[in-house]
Homo-oligomer: A and B are copies of this chain.
Amino acid sequence: MARKTENYHLRIPSETANLQVIRNFVSDVAKSVGFENQDIGKIELAVDEACTNVIEHAYHQDSKKDIDVAVKIDFDKFTVVITDHGKGFKPEDVDIPDMNRYLAELRVGGLGIYLMKHLMDEVEYRTQPGVSNEVRMVKYLIRKDNKKKQSA
């Protein structure tokens, strides 16, 4: 099979009950391109965190809104873009915790973006407040061979 770009796209009501569907979708696609289980787990968790933020912070549990999850596969690059049309936020104003202090002070919450940044190779927010917010996360794939899909 010739190498090419592939796009996958899921649009789903914004509710926590759907996190499992989203995780399965992203893991299935990650598995099909040959990621190992540990990396699949990382992608799955990073996407869960991003979607949980959309459900809670962008749409405040309003399940009439939709979440968009797009996966793009290039040769060695797995990109997930999660888009919302909520009120938006300034990522640069978000305080990413120092974990030593965090644990010493027994803080609660505020771990989502920290996790995303440590699980993925690239994490980038593109926010136009009031219009759309997207977070774009990339994981590089170390390929063992030239075939994209194996059937077994």
Contact = CB atoms under 8 A, between A and B. Distances in A.
Interface of A: 1, 4, 6-13, 15, 17-18, 20-21, 24-25, 28-29, 32, 63-64, 66, 149, 151
Contact of A8 (B4, B11, B20, B24): B11
Given A4-B64, A17-B149, A10 B32 contact: no
A20 B18 CA distance: 19
Contacts of A13: 6-8
Nearest to A29: B21
Nearest to A20: B28
A25 B25 CA distance: 6
Given A10-B11, A21-B28, A24-B28, 11 more contacts: A1-B63, A6-B63, A7-B66, A8-B10, A8-B11, A8-B13, A8-B21, A9-B11, A10-B10, A21-B25, A21-B32
